[in-house]
Amino acid sequence: MASTAQNGSLRIAVDIGGTFTDLAAFDESGRRISFGKALSTHHHLVEGIEHTAEDAGVSFKDARLFLHGSTIAINTLLERTGADTALLITQGFRDIYEIGRINRPDAYNLFFKKHDPLVKRSSRYEIKERLRADGSVHQELDEAQVEALADELKARGIESVAILLLHSYRNPAHEQRVKEIVKRKLPNAFVSASHELTQEYREFERSSTVAANAYIGPRVEKYLGEIEDHLGKRGFHGNFYVVQSNGGLFPVEDARRECVRILESGPAAGVIGTQQICAELGMSDAIAFDMGGTTAKAGVIYRGKPLTSSSALIGGYDRALPIQIPMTDIFEVGTGGGSIARLVEGNAIRVGPQSAGSLPGPACYGQGGENPTVTDANLLLGRLDPEHFLGGQMKLDVAAAEKAMQEKIAGPLGISVTQAAEGIVRIAATAMSYAVKGVTTERGLDAGAFAMVVYGGAGPLHASAIARELGIRRVLVPDSPGHFSAYGMLFSDLRYDYVRSVFERLATVSFERIEELYRDMEERGRAAIAKSAIAPDSITISRAADMRYVGQEHAVTVDLDNAIFEKADRAAIKSAFDAVHLQRYGTSAPNEPSDLVSLRVTVAGVVSKPPREKLSLAGEAPGDSAKLKMRKVCFSAKDGFVDTPIYLRDGLKAGNRIRGPALIEEHASTTVLMPDDLMAVDAYGNLDIAVGGAK
C-alpha cells in the first residue's frame, strides 16, 4: 500500500531480531500506526529493514525520526566476531581482566571453565602510571612509553583499543591523555576509555566493560554507518536515534561511541511497550515476556516502572562477562521458535540454545532446514496454519516438519510424531518459565501475583502453558504482538543515566557534598538533552543510591525521592534501604549502620506518545467476520486432536469473549487458548486471558 504520510510526519521504529526484522511506523499527521515484518537478512541487515518498510507501505523520505534496536552488539559479543583489540591497563594489573572474581557456581564440576576474555593476554599492555583511590597522583603518566606503545599497536594492525587505568572514575586525566596519544598515532582505530562509559568503582567490571565496548565498537560503528548511508539514499533527512538497554533513546553518534549501551536495545523496548499498557489499564505490576525466533526474554514493571540493573552478566553466570552499564533488568534463555530440538546423552530431548535462525530456519520454512524446531512442533500439533503463516505470505511445509521430527526425535525414541512435538513444546515452556523466574522469584517477587504481557511472534503460542508453569492467572496479548518491540520504541523517551561512587557512612555523610554530586549529574543530563534534535515535552529527574550494611561487599539500589536528600532525612533513607534489602534477600537489619556506595541519577526527556483511544464495546459473542473455521488441534498427546474453533483477530471487537480451546490468528502471531482459558477483548484491543478461567 502507498504511504499516506505528509512529508516529515512519520516516526519509524525498526527492531532486528535473530529471525525476523520488525517495523512500526506512526503517522503523526493521520494518527495511524502501521506494521511491517520480514526475515532478517544476516548477510546484509539493511536489506531486512528495507523489506519491512515495503511490507508496511512506508517510505523513509517521509520520516522525521528513525528509531532502531538491534541484536548486532550482543551477537558480536556472544559469537566472538569483534575486532582485534588491545587493552591498556595500569602497570601491575595486566591480569585482573582474566582473573575476574573467581566465581565457581558449580563447586564439584571438574570440567568447569571460567570466563574467556575478549582480549587475549598478549594484547594486554601495562602503562606506567598510578592514581590513588582519592584520585590524587601517585605516579605520573609516562607519556613516552605510551607513544612507543602506540607505535607498536599500529605496527601490529590493532583495530581497537580499550583503556582502563586504576581509579580513573575519580580522576580521568591520565586516561584522557592516553586516549589523545593513541588517537593521534592510530587515527583509524576505535579507542574507548573506561571513564567515558562508567564512573563507578570495581576495576574488573570496568575493565570488562571497556574491553567489550572496544571489541564490538568497529562492527557496530560500521553497521550503524551502513544504515545511515542506506537511509540517506532513500531520501531520509530526519534524525536517527538508537534504543539503549535502559529503554531510552540516544543519538546515533552516541551509540557509535558507547556501543555497550545498546546490548539489550530490542528487549528493553518491549518492556517500555509493556509499561505503556500498564499505564493504560491502571496496572502497577506486570511481567513483560517476549518470545521470538531465537530467544525468550522477560522483564518486570513494578509499581509502574521497569526494574533496572546497574550491570549485567553477558553469557550466563558461570562464564559471564560483566558489563557495568545501567540497563533494564532482563533475563534471557536460549529458547525461541527457531530453537532446535535434539537428543542428547541418555536419549533426553534438549531444546535450544542452538537456533535455526532465519536461514535455513525451521524445517517447515522449506529452506533446507533438517532439524526439528519449536515452530515445527507447533505446526505438527495444528497450532499453526500452514496456509496462514504471516498472513499467508509464507507457506509452511508440513511434510518437511514431519520428516525432521520423525528422523531426529520420534523415530529414535520409538514414539509418535505427535508425542515428540508435544514433548518439545512442554520442554520449551518449562525452559521459558526460567526467564520469568529470573526477574521475579530471584528478585524476591511472587510471579503469581503479576499479570503477564506476552508478545513476540512466538510468545502468544506458549503464553498459557508458561503461565500454568508459574501459577500466573492473567495473561495479556497486545495488538500486533509480533511487532511489539518495534512498537515499544515509539513510546521511548530520551534518557541518560549517571553514577558516581562515593563510599560514605550514611550516619556521617555531608549532604551538601551529596547534593553537589547529584546536581552535577543532573546538569550533565539536561545538557545532553538540550543538544538533542528531539525537543522533549518535559524533563524528569529521578535519584537513587547503591547502599549496603557496613561490612558487606555487595550493595542494592534504592530509589529515593529528591525531597529526602533536600531534607537530609537519614532515617527515611535507612528505612527505604532496609525495605529493599528485605524484599531482595528476605532479611534486613534496621539497627545496623549502612554505607552509601554510589549515587545514581536518571534524566529523561519525555517525548510525546502515539495516542491510544478506547474502542467501542460490542457484544460478548464474536461476529461472523471473526470466525474463520474449525481445525483439528492437539493440546495434549493424551487427548489427541480435538475440533478447535479458529478466529481472526482483526474481526474481534472490544467486549468479545471466547472460551478455550481456541486459536486466534493474526498476521504475525497465533494465540493459543488452552481448554478452560477464558479470553475477553478489552477496551484497547488487548486479549485479556483468565488462565484456566481464573479471575
In a domain, 637, yes or no: no
122/206 same-domain check: yes
**Residue 644 predicted with pLDDT over 90:** yes
As a whole number, mean pLDDT of residues 384-397 equals 84
As a whole number, mean pLDDT of residues 135-158 equals 96
Using CA atoms, how far apart are residues 86 and 63, in angstroms rounded to an integer? 40
Three-class secondary structure of residue 533 per DSSP: coil
In a domain, 617, yes or no: no
CA dist 474 → 154, 262, 691 (Å): 59, 31, 6
CB atoms within 10 A of CB 396: 22
65/85 same-domain check: no
Q: For residue 360, say if its preceding peptide bond is cis, omega within 30 degrees of 0.
A: yes
In a domain, 181, yes or no: yes
pLDDT tens track for 322-358: 899 989 988 888 788 888 999 988 888 999 888 887 7
- Phi (first) and psi of residue 243, to 5 degrees: -85, 130
Q: What is the pTM of this model?
A: 0.87
Closest among 259, 245, 225 to 73, alpha carbons compared: 259
Closest among 123, 184, 209 to 158, alpha carbons compared: 123
Highest mean pLDDT: which range of 286-295, 312-321, 542-551? 542-551
Cell of 383: 497450532
Using CA atoms, how far apart are residues 200 and 301, in angstroms rounded to an integer? 26
Q: What is the CATH number of the domain that holds 573?
A: 3.30.1490
CA dist 192 → 162, 214, 259, 685 (Å): 5, 6, 10, 46
Q: What is the CATH number of the domain that holds 59?
A: 3.30.420.40
65/109 same-domain check: no
In a domain, 671, yes or no: no
96/201 same-domain check: yes
Give helix then strand counts, H and E, for the chain: 18, 35
- Residue ranges of alpha helices (H) inside 103-262 are 143-156, 173-185, 194-197, 203-233, 252-257
The domain boundary residue, chosen from 51, 70, 89: 70
pLDDT tens track for 551-598: 998 899 999 988 887 788 899 999 999 999 998 888 999 999 999 999
The domain boundary residue, chosen from 427, 461, 479: 427
Q: List beta partners, residue 27.
A: 10, 32
The separation between CA 657 and the C-alpha centre of its own chain, rounded to angstroms, equals 33
**Region of residue 471 (phi > 0: left; psi between -120 and 50: alpha; otherwise: beta):** left
516/567 same-domain check: yes
**Residue 3 predicted with pLDDT over 50:** no
Residue 625: partners with Cβ closer than 8 Å, 6 or more residues away: 648, 650, 651
Residues 78, 80, 82, 87, Cα dihedral to 10°: 100
For 600, the domain range is: 494-606
Cell of 674: 488452552
The one-letter code for the residue type at 464 is S
61/88 same-domain check: no
pLDDT tens track for 367-384: 888 899 999 999 999 999
How many percent of the chain have pLDDT more than 90?
A: 66
CB atoms within 10 A of CB 187: 9
Q: List beta partners, residue 35.
A: 24
165/111 same-domain check: yes
pLDDT tens track for 294-313: 788 899 999 899 998 888 87
Integer-rounded Cα radius of gyration of the chain = 26
149/33 same-domain check: no
Using CA atoms, how far apart are residues 54 and 131, in angstroms rounded to an integer? 56
In a domain, 664, yes or no: no
Using CA atoms, how far apart are residues 118 and 128, in angstroms rounded to an integer? 23
In a domain, 639, yes or no: no
Cell of 408: 531426529
The one-letter code for the residue type at 457 is G
192/88 same-domain check: yes
Cell of 141: 603518566
Residue 432: partners with Cβ closer than 8 Å, 6 or more residues away: 289, 291, 296, 333, 335, 462, 466
Q: Tell me, what's the pLDDT at 105?
A: 62
DSSP E strands in 295-359: the ranges are 296-302, 305-306, 308-309, 312-314, 321-323, 327-328, 331-333, 339-344, 348-355
The tally of domains found in the chain comes to 4
**Residue 5 predicted with pLDDT over 70:** no
Highest mean pLDDT: which range of 148-162, 307-321, 361-375? 148-162
Residues 76, 77, 79, 80, Cα dihedral to 10°: 100
Instruction: Calculate the average pLDDT of the chain.
Output: 90
63/161 same-domain check: no
Q: Tell me, what's the pLDDT at 368?
A: 87
Using CA atoms, how far apart are residues 436 and 297, in angstroms rounded to an integer? 8
In a domain, 624, yes or no: no
Three-class secondary structure of residue 147 per DSSP: helix
Q: What is the CATH number of the domain that holds 118?
A: 3.40.50
Whether the Cβ atoms of residue 379 and residue 396 lie closer than 8 Å to each other: yes
Q: Tell me, what's the pLDDT at 282?
A: 93
Q: Tell me, what's the pLDDT at 359?
A: 77
**Region of residue 556 (phi > 0: left; psi between -120 and 50: alpha; otherwise: beta):** beta
Whether the Cβ atoms of residue 247 and residue 272 lie closer than 8 Å to each other: yes
Residue 538: partners with Cβ closer than 8 Å, 6 or more residues away: 605, 606
122/27 same-domain check: no
What is the torsional sign of CA 607, 497, 75, 270? negative
**Region of residue 245 (phi > 0: left; psi between -120 and 50: alpha; otherwise: beta):** alpha
Three-class secondary structure of residue 160 per DSSP: strand
86/37 same-domain check: no
Highest mean pLDDT: which range of 103-107, 151-155, 385-389? 151-155
Q: Tell me, what's the pLDDT at 6?
A: 44
The domain boundary residue, chosen from 32, 52, 70: 70
As a whole number, mean pLDDT of residues 25-44 equals 82
What DSSP element (H or E) covers 515? Answer: helix 511-530
Using CA atoms, how far apart are residues 39 and 356, in angstroms rounded to an integer? 13
Three-class secondary structure of residue 185 per DSSP: helix
pLDDT tens track for 206-255: 999 999 999 999 999 999 999 999 999 989 999 999 999 999 999 999 99
As a whole number, mean pLDDT of residues 637-644 equals 90
The one-letter code for the residue type at 112 is F
In a domain, 567, yes or no: yes
